[in-house]
Structure 1
Amino acid sequence: MNFESIQDNNRYAHAILLIITCYISFFLFNGEFFVNIMEARNFVTAREMIEKGNWLVPTMNGELRLAKPPLPTWITAFFGNTFGMENLSMLRFPAGIMGSLMVFFMYQFTISLSGNRIKALTNSLVLVSSFYVLYMSRTGTWDIYCHSFMLGAIWIIHSAFKNHNSKSLWIKFSFTGVLLGLSFLSKGPVAFFALLLPFLIAYFSVYRLKDLKQYWKPIVLCLFIFAIISFWWPVYISIAHSQEAAAVAKLESGSWMNRHVRPFYYYWNFPIQSGIWTLVIFTSLLFPYAFKNFETKKEYKFALIWTLSSVILLSLIPEKKDRYLLPVLIPSALLAGQFLHHLYIVFKNESAKKADHILFGINTWTIAIVAFSLPIVAFFMFQRQNLMSVPTFALFSIFSELVAMSLVICWINRNVRGMVLSTTSLLLIVVIFIIPHTGGILNKNPHFKSIAEVRNLTDLHKYNYYSIGEHDFRIELVYEIGKEVKQWNTKEKLDLPEKSPFVVISTENPKDVFTKPQMSKIKLDIISRYDNNMQRVGKRRNKEHFKKYVSLVTPISIPDKTCEETAITEMNNSKDNEN
């Protein structure tokens, strides 16, 4: 068998391995987690696209939803319309596809960068098993879309810069324009700032591309395609709803400065977001060691500058959230891959220094200890509380200990590839055995009663729903209920909102929310009280706004006068009687 056929076999083997890993990481049991606030916003908007047909002008709980571009919501709506808006697995399926595309783009980008398929596989395995990549690919939000499309664009840009074939440049930059447009239509300029700009800083700092003249025409075509795909929707919205669009733009720009403000150094623990690869990424940041020992110094310098540029740029924005670090994990995977490839080369050539042995030992033994300890943790968190069956716990323990033993053997034999595969396997074992049993851990409220049960009360579906007694109704509850929930302030608007029966939802007992004149005009049937809190009473995250009464209100008369006029009339009659 010649070298080319071996390379082809490696390519197919790598593809199969990555497909299996992506399936377990992103798709398996992806309906287990509760819907978070970001998902709820996306799902409610998608549901109203289907029900109301407002695909171009999205709404969320009846209000215009212009803060985010609509591409991820369109895709979610397509899957929701096909498989049902209550099918969480399928609503999250597109995010898994985008996560898988990100891994594929990483593999192809690494080949373009180094021409080495082993490096490509290593970088892709680090990326697919990084915690926040896994988490965002299992939840139906916007971030995984924009960054996945952007990584694809970066791969093609790098390929175009590296290969100067004039015929292929037009095709490559055309595809780049499409991917850039799709990224912008997913979350605006976020990926351009957090991923593309740091890449360009790193690339031109290290590789210093000299002759840019040959690229200007394809680049113009790229920008033209990008502009068409990106800006048609914002332009349409600015024309059709100019005042609302301006208000949203002002609010969003203000939130970057005023909401969730954190200190500049908040993001500098970014390796932690990779989960199991935290120590490996921290080690790869030891640039004095890397510049002195690594063979591929240019590639390492490129990955280092890309990573640090991304962190610095994100740190400049006052608003900071952990999920905003997702784009940093992409160059971080490249950085970790450089360290792991260096160890592979020096151990293979028997040229490893003392520092190489020490760093490999620290990383491998740390993960081995984690693997060894996992059954103990699982026993106290799951099996002891009867959340996991004995056979499942036994299998989980066996596989975890096998991974721990495998890592020890890898350390003895200085097997870096085996260490990468064993570490990835450990994460997959956690997904397979732990995620299906997390419900009992995440939900610690013994009085939990989901308001989603209202969906089963088919007699209520024909009525309109109103939230009373508060100004802000949680969007997570809107998704769980499955219908739009309108706002009604019973103190300011004394008239009943409808002359036919309707449903009211309130934190307080509705008897204490309605005014006396209103109570005299309605029949109130309290259906039940629901508690969507995951934490038990007394905990910080147990919030009153997740506790709701659901009641049916039936007007018992339909007076010509408003409730306010009726109240005045009753007061006048009372005065006449006194006289």
Structure 2
Amino acid sequence: MFNISYKKMFLFMFFISLFSFLPNINIEDADIMEARNFTTAREILSENNWLIPTMNGEIRITKPPLPTWITTLGFLGNHKENLGLLRIPTVFTTIFMIFLFFYFVLTLTQNKDLSFISSIVLATSFLIFKMGRTASWDIYTNVFIVGCLFYLLKSIEHIKYSFIAGIFLGFSIMSKGPVSLYAVFLPFIISYTIIYNINFKKINYKKIIIFIITSLIIGGSWYFYIFFLHTDITLKVAQVESTAWLTKHTQPFWYYFHFPIFSGIWFVLGIGALFKKNMEKFVVDIKTYRFSLLWMLISFVLLSILPEKKERYLIPVVIPMALLIGQFIYSAFLNINKNSKFINNILKIHSTIIIIFSIYIPILLFTKNYYNLNIFYIIFLTICYIIFIILFLKNFKQLDIKKLFIYTLVFMLFSNIFFAPFYLKNIMFKHNRKYQALRDVKKTDYLDNIKIYSFHQPGIRNVWNIGHKIKMINKSELDNLKFPLCIIYYDYEKDEVENLLSSYIILDKKTFYFSNTSNTELNLVKIIKK
């Protein structure tokens, strides 16, 4: 399908990944997961507490520290804490996953084109390019588990790869505990054993022992260290976290039934790949297809039976889904001349949806009067989307798979680079422009050499945005503190707090908005005693 060298494939994969993950990297504010990670990384660097991290001055062992250690790289030379730069380590770690996935599929199938297509699909799947520029724990654990699976397959060739596979599994455990072990590794082992008829009598158990011991040493070392140093805290955290899986963010079993849409632009092909009877009539490698389908379904079921559910937890499903979609595209290319109604219908639905989006976007921009924001830019977008409509319509009858794959890829990347920033800045993120964002206070010396207090839980996003620790106090403690000091409070606390502060001299007061997705106001007040 693609008569190109490995070198060109790697360059293409690298730049496609960059164009997926880098655009808009600095637009969105840090969400709560990122705020926790960034705050912990900042305190690791400022207080040199690498093995026992803190968050807002309190011990933070809820999540293992490997992703936070990697995140500290984003702070190097980044004194203004630019969000885009802080997310760069996550971007390149995710790109690393794309290459690991390529080699994983290549080792599994010995098919260079299928490996290339599947890796490109993974890099441009919605959930991957969203989490690939979000500095949270979820992407890291999945990156390392993909590396583990690749080297586990390679260990058939040589025992040294068992050791490397163990290192990657250990890194995955050091990223988010046993999450990927449960949602990726276990489904992979079950499906691989079933489909490839593994004979347990012929297994080299020496390799398995090396793999297990290595993963336990790498993955368990920090946990053992923390347990013996802070046993009570560790047991309490373990109880809270295990309870959370059953009680927090609970959703019904069918909550994940819309999982194909997390493949983004490829979701129609993903749905098509689930039709087993139709797929087996034209798929090139039936065994690989059955394996990836079973792997994905087991991951889906294991995630669905857990009460706690969040959409970002679906990364373990998106990974085998990329291989399924890759097989659909590759097999359709080889079988398109056989006039398969199934293939033609799926490809036409896929093209139709992209055409609909290409029509809808310009209409949205003009009918909602967004053209007032930048008429020339919107004209440029409109012309480009008209070109996409023409290209997909021209290909509608011929259904040239190679062209369709390239057009889809270009459409997705164009929308990500040119439309998404405009949409995020001007349409999605409507905020109160009377005030600066709270994070802008870090660009000033307003809070230098002064302690900050709150009468309620300060919220970790506020701690991150301000750039300083915020201590929660009772109102009765205020007189006993060292002045001058700063009080942070929300607008809904205004009457209560300002009534209390009337007994003090207010040196300065500044109002900010909480984030670029919220009109919630926050006040910072510097006070001294009368």
Same fold (TM over 0.5): yes
SS in 2 for 1:404: helix
Q: CA deviation at 1:175?
A: 1.0
For residues 115 and 245 of structure 1, do their structure 2 counterparts lie closer, same or farther at Cα, with a shift above 3 Å needed? Answer: same
The offset of 1:261, in angstroms, is: 0.6
Asked if 1:337 corresponds to 2:318, the answer is no
2:250–2:308 Cα contact (<8 Å) kept: yes
Query: Is structure 2 residue 51 aligned with structure 1 residue 21?
Result: no
Q: Could you say which residue in structure 2 is the equivalent of 1:408?
A: 393
Once the two structures are TM-superposed, the CA of residue 524 in structure 1 deviates from its matched residue by 2.6
More off after superposition, 351-360 vs 475-484: 351-360
Q: Which residue of 2 aligns with 1:207?
A: 196
SS at match of 1:529: strand
Aligned to 1:182: 171
SS at match of 1:92: helix
Separation in 2, partners of 1:554, 1:486: 17
**8 Å contact from structure 1 (residues 149, 180) kept in 2:** yes
Equivalence for 2:350 = 363
Q: Distance in 2 between matches of 1:295 and 1:131?
A: 26
- Tell me the residue number matched to 2:266: 277
Q: CA deviation at 1:80?
A: 0.9
Indicate which of 512, 519, 525 corresponds to 2:496.
512
SS in 1 for 2:257: helix
CA positional deviation for 1:408? 2.9
Select the residue among 522, 526, 530 that pairs with 1:552.
526
Structure number with larger C-alpha Rg: 1
Pick from 431, 441, 454: which aligns with 1:445? 431
Deviations 1:347-377 (A, max 9, x none): 2xx3232333222222223223323433333
How far apart are residue 533 of structure 1 and its match? 5.1
What is the aligned counterpart of 1:57 among 45, 52, 55? 52
1:498 aligns with 2:487: no
Distance, in Å, in 2 between the alignment partners of 1:141 and 1:264 is 25
Distance in 1 of aligned mates of 2:369 and 2:27: 16
1:40-82 per-position Cα deviation (integer Å, ceiling 9, x unaligned) = 1101111111111111111111111111000111111132133
Hey, what's the Cα distance between the residues in 1 that align with 2:302 and 2:369?
41
Task: Indicate whether 1:245 and 2:224 are aligned.
Answer: no
Report the Cα offset of residue 381 of structure 1.
6.0
Is 1:373 matched with 2:360? Answer: yes
Find the counterpart in structure 1 of residue 514 from structure 2: 532
- Of the three residues 454, 462, 477, the one matched with 1:477 is 462
Report the equivalent of 1:133.
Answer: 128
Q: Which amino acid aligns with 1:398?
A: I
SS in 1 for 2:468: coil
SS of equivalent residue, structure 1 residue 82: coil
What residue is the counterpart of 2:144 in the other structure?
A: 149
Q: Distance in 2 between matches of 1:283 and 1:448?
A: 49
Report the CA distance shift for 1:15/1:377 in structure 2 as closer, same or farther (over 3 A): farther
**Equivalent of 1:83 in 74, 78, 98:** 78
Q: 1:321 to 1:297 in 2, by over 3 A?
A: same
Instruction: Tell me which residue corresponds to 1:395.
Output: 380
Give 1:430 deviation, angstroms. 1.1
Q: Residue 438 of structure 2 contacts residue 515 of structure 2 at CA under 8 Å; is this kept in 1?
A: no
Per the TM alignment, residue 409 of structure 1 is displaced from its structure 2 partner at its CA by: 3.3
Distance 2:386 2:529 in 1: 66
1:525 alignment partner AA: L
Evaluate the alpha carbon distance shift between residue 58 and residue 497 of structure 1 in structure 2; reply closer, same or farther with a 3 A threshold.
farther
The percentage of aligned residue pairs carrying the same residue is 30
- Shift of the alpha carbon at 1:145? 0.7
Task: Give SS of 1:83's match.
Answer: coil
Hey, what's the Cα distance between the residues in 1 that align with 2:284 and 2:161?
30
3-state SS of 2:436 partner: coil
Deviates further, 64-73 or 209-218 = 209-218
Measured against aligned partners, the alpha-carbon deviations of 1:506-553 in whole angstroms (never above 9, x if no partner) come to: 12566733786x854x323341222225457xxxxx6xxx43221112
Higher relative contact order (CA 8 A, sep 6+): 2
Partner residue of 2:161?
A: 172
- Name the aligned partner's letter for residue 439 of structure 1: K
Between stretches 438-447 and 59-68, larger displacement belongs to 438-447
Once the two structures are overlaid, the 10-residue window that deviates more, 206-215 or 373-382, is 373-382
Q: Deviations over 1:418-465 (max 9, x none)?
A: 211211111110121123322222322334532223324414310011
Which letter does structure 2 place at the counterpart of 1:305? L
What's the TM-score once normalised by structure 1's chain length? 0.86
Letter in 1 for 2:510: S
User: What is the CA–CA distance in structure 2 between the aligned matches of 1:69 and 1:203, rounded to whole Å?
Assistant: 29
Cα distance in 2 for residues equivalent to 1:465 and 1:120? 53
Q: Distance in 1 between matches of 2:314 and 2:186?
A: 15
Match of 2:220 in 1: 231
CA–CA separation in structure 2 for the residues paired with 1:266 and 1:73:
30
Distance 2:388 2:208 in 1: 48
Cα distance in 1 between the residues matched to 2:154 and 2:13: 22
Q: C-alpha displacement at 1:342, in angstroms?
A: 2.0
Contact 1:381 1:441 in 2 (8 A): no
Could you state the TM-score of these two structures normalised by the residue count of structure 2? 0.94
- Measured after TM superposition, the shift of residue 379 of structure 1 is 3.8
CA deviation after TM superposition for structure 1 residue 217, in Å = 0.9
AA partner of residue 318 (structure 1): P
**Would the aligned equivalents of 2:249 and 2:309 in 1 still touch at CA under 8 Å?**
yes
- Give how far 1:333 is off: 0.7
Residue 339 (structure 2) aligned to one of 344, 347, 352: 352
Which residue matches 1:426? Answer: 411
Contact conserved, 1:407 with 1:418, CA < 8 A, in 2? no
State the distance in 1 between where 2:203 and 2:517 align.
61
Summarize the Cα distance change of 1:13–1:209 in structure 2 as closer, same or farther, 3 Å threshold. same
Q: 1:506 to 1:360 in 2, by over 3 A?
A: closer
Counterpart code for 2:110 = G
- Please state how far the C-alpha of 1:276 moved relative to its aligned partner: 1.2
Assess if the C-alpha contact under 8 Å between 1:173 and 1:218 holds in 2: yes
In structure 2, do the counterparts of structure 1 residues 219 and 378 end up closer, same or farther at CA, with 3 Å as the change threshold? farther
The CA deviation at 1:394 is 2.9
| Structure 1: runs of 5 or more not aligned | 1-5, 537-541, 557-579
> Against the structure 1 CA distance between its residues 448 and 131, is the aligned structure 2 distance closer, same or farther, given a 3 Å change threshold?
farther
* 3-state SS in 1 of match to 2:44: helix
CA distance in 1, matches of 2:185, 2:168: 12
Structure-2 separation of matches of 1:113 and 1:191:
20
The amino acid across from 1:32 in the alignment is I
Calculate the aligned-residue CA RMSD, in Å.
2.3
Residue 466 (structure 1) aligned to one of 449, 453, 460: 453
SS at the partner of 1:91? helix
